Amino acid sequence: MKYFSCLVLIVLSLANAGAQTAESIPEQFAQFFNAYSIVNPASCGSKSNIEIELGRQGHSGIWKNISTTYASGSLRLGPRKKKNNFQVLGLSFVRDKEGEYLKRSKFYVNYGWHTRLTKKLSLGAGVAGGFFSYLVSGSSASVAGSAMAPDGTLGLWLYHHRYYVGASAAQVFNSRLTPIQETTVLLRHYNITGGYTYHVSEALTVHPRTMIRYAPGHPVNIDVATQGIINEIVSAGVNYRYNKEMVCLFGLEKLKAGKGALRCMFSYAFPTGGVASNRQTFELTLNYDHQSKQKKSGR
């Protein structure tokens, strides 16, 4: 921790030497399919009346003091008998922590509107609005500072009980924050997601999924994941993150909890690309879905 703190102080000192600009793009989770609420607000409410998503990402080695935590929840509004159209209201929170001194937080209020296009196909539109907070804690060798700026995400979500496709634009304001001297730009970026459900047999279902993220001036991030679920209880799979990592996935499905069901998953990533090749990443997620009489999406 001491060595990491010294490294942070050196970086801050270099930033103080002259005004600079950095671009910020949120961490893309290897278990993106368990964290759609923080990627696309239009996905909220597409599965059940009440949805809760919790997750944490950490790293090993010299990166062990860097972590990301998120929590979100959503609730369908209006009469339950009205299935063709409904609204969704939710909250989401994301926090990045780098050692003792750097903390970035997002807090959103999510709103969505869903309508049935055909008997089995529905469309959701969503917006998330809130603020981004950047905190630099001081020490005996450095100064402290903080900044806050508005932030938001827009999205569309087309879903069927067998498949789904989503698109979103995040950090739409391109907000700028200057906690000390270096200015951070919340770079607008775009996400495309999709997935399908194959019923191979009564005991086995397979879920291929993908997520593509594009940010101007940065390499395109591509995730291609496949998950198999046995007897609707045990799941395992892999996620190939193009030129970055190979991720192993293990989880439990449909653990009964009251009138709903829990899903939990652990993943461990092994780097395959040249960037940060000694960084290994792990994630733990927990999801809750309240039972709904409506047909579920392919998520």
pLDDT in tens, the chain (299 residues): 444 444 443 444 444 444 578 899 998 999 999 999 999 999 999 999 999 999 999 998 888 889 999 999 999 997 655 568 999 999 999 999 988 888 999 999 999 999 999 999 999 999 999 999 999 876 655 667 889 999 999 999 999 999 999 999 999 999 999 888 789 999 999 999 999 999 999 999 999 999 999 999 999 999 999 999 999 999 999 999 998 899 999 999 999 998 899 999 999 998 886 555 567 899 999 999 997 554 455 66
Give how many domains the chain has, as a whole number. Answer: 1
Q: What pLDDT is recorded for position 267?
A: 98
Interatomic CA distance for residues 198 and 295, integer angstroms:
16
**Domain assignment of residue 49, yes or no:** yes
**Domain assignment of residue 235, yes or no:** yes
**Domain assignment of residue 9, yes or no:** no
Q: What pLDDT is recorded for position 20?
A: 75
Q: Which of 78, 2, 72, 8 is nearest to 37 (CA)?
A: 72
Are residues 31 and 249 in contact, defined by beta-carbon separation less than 8 angstroms? yes
**Domain assignment of residue 195, yes or no:** yes
**Domain assignment of residue 296, yes or no:** no
Q: What pLDDT is recorded for position 80?
A: 56
Q: For the beta carbon of residue 121, count every other beta carbon within 10 angstroms.
A: 13
Are residues 165 and 156 in contact, defined by beta-carbon separation less than 8 angstroms? no
- For the question of whether the overall pTM of this predicted structure is more than 0.85, the answer is yes
Tokens of 128: 């998330």
Kindly report the CATH number assigned to the domain that includes residue 40.
2.40.160.60
Query: Residue type for 223, please?
Result: D
Tokens of 290: 């309240």
**Domain assignment of residue 16, yes or no:** no
DSSP single-letter state for residue 219: P
Q: Which domain holds residue 228?
A: 27-290
**Domain assignment of residue 32, yes or no:** yes
**Domain assignment of residue 252, yes or no:** yes
